[in-house]
A and B are shown apart, each in its own frame.
Chain A
Amino acid sequence: DSGVTQTPKHLITATGQRVTLRCSPRSGDLSVYWYQQSLDQGLQFLIQYYNGEERAKGNILERFSAQQFPDLHSELNLSSLELGDSALYFCASSSATGLNRSPLHFGNGTRLTVT
């Protein structure tokens, strides 16, 4: 068990809809990262938050947004969903001391299916 909790495990929704994915980081970790994993693109970095503030953006679409709350849990919001958004979405966390002391710890992911 990595200590990172993601809910829900599975999500099936229709095109055009909006969903929210939730992540609770490992206890003590201040950084939260979101990744999208698909068969053709591999593991793509979406966005990182550190102690409530956005720190880095990757290949995140404008239809997607995220936030990290004071209790450090994070939510990834996906709107105007398209079939191509179907993927496994991972959350990972790391400690404040940096990746060289605390590598990423991944959650089990949320599998999103857009029909």
Chain B
Amino acid sequence: AQSVSQHNHHVILSEAASLELGCNYSYGGTVNLFWYVQYPGQHLQLLLKYFSGDPLVKGIKGFEAEFIKSKFSFNLRKPSVQWSDTAEYFCAVNPTGRDDKIIFGKGTRLHILP
């Protein structure tokens, strides 16, 4: 069965630190990949997405993610975090063409110290 693993459950960083959140998935075919963010008390919002092409994708608020097919990974990065980045981050995988199947990781809680 397909699955998504987010290795870090809880990350604490100081402002201006660099961020990398890991995401690995298990699925043999082609996939669409997403990162969603959930700010405290709010709904999930799309941060960025990968469908095809350049494996380095840029999203909103300075976030980027790199798809490494050989490693089945889609790690999220930001060079310098801000206090407002405090949120929960979810990686999600959708086998291409299967709109009924989008699997989320368990999320990573990011806490930025001011």
* B43 at the A interface (CB under 8 A): yes
A92 to B97, alpha carbons, bound, how many Å?
18
Contacts of B46 in A (CB 8 A): 103-105
* B54 at the A interface (CB under 8 A): no
- Name the residue of chain A whose CB is nearest to the CB of B41: A108
Q: A109 touches which one: B43, B45, B90, B105 (CB < 8 A)? A: B43
Those of A16-43 within 8 Å (CB) of chain B: 31, 33, 35, 41-43
Those of A66-107 within 8 Å (CB) of chain B: 90, 92, 94, 98-100, 103-107
Contacts of A106 in B (CB 8 A): 36, 43-45
Q: Let me know if A100 and B51 touch, CB within 8 A.
A: yes
Q: Given the known A-B contacts A107-B43, A108-B42, are A42 and B102 also in contact in the complex, defined by CB atoms under 8 Å?
A: no
Q: Let me know if B96 and A56 touch, CB within 8 A.
A: no
Those of B86-114 within 8 Å (CB) of chain A: 90, 94, 96-97, 99-107
Q: A99 touches which one: B32, B36, B44, B107 (CB < 8 A)? A: B32
Q: Let me know if B90 and A2 touch, CB within 8 A.
A: no
- Name the residue of chain A whose CB is nearest to the CB of B42: A108
A45 to B103, alpha carbons, bound, how many Å?
7
Q: Let me know if B96 and A100 touch, CB within 8 A.
A: yes
Contacts of A31 in B (CB 8 A): 99
A98 to B99, alpha carbons, bound, how many Å?
6
Q: Given the known A-B contacts A42-B107, A99-B32, A99-B94, are A104 and B43 also in contact in the complex, defined by CB atoms under 8 Å?
A: no
Q: Let me know if B102 and A99 touch, CB within 8 A.
A: yes
Q: Let me know if B99 and A43 touch, CB within 8 A.
A: no
Q: Given the known A-B contacts A42-B106, A99-B32, A99-B94, are A90 and B99 also in contact in the complex, defined by CB atoms under 8 Å?
A: no
Q: Let me know if A45 and B102 touch, CB within 8 A.
A: yes
Q: Let me know if A56 and B42 touch, CB within 8 A.
A: no
Q: Let me know if A56 and B100 touch, CB within 8 A.
A: yes
Contacts of B100 in A (CB 8 A): 48, 50, 55-56
- Name the residue of chain B whose CB is nearest to the CB of A102: B99
Interface residues of A (CB under 8 A from B): 2, 4, 31, 33, 35, 41-43, 45, 48, 50, 55-56, 90, 92, 94, 98-100, 103-109
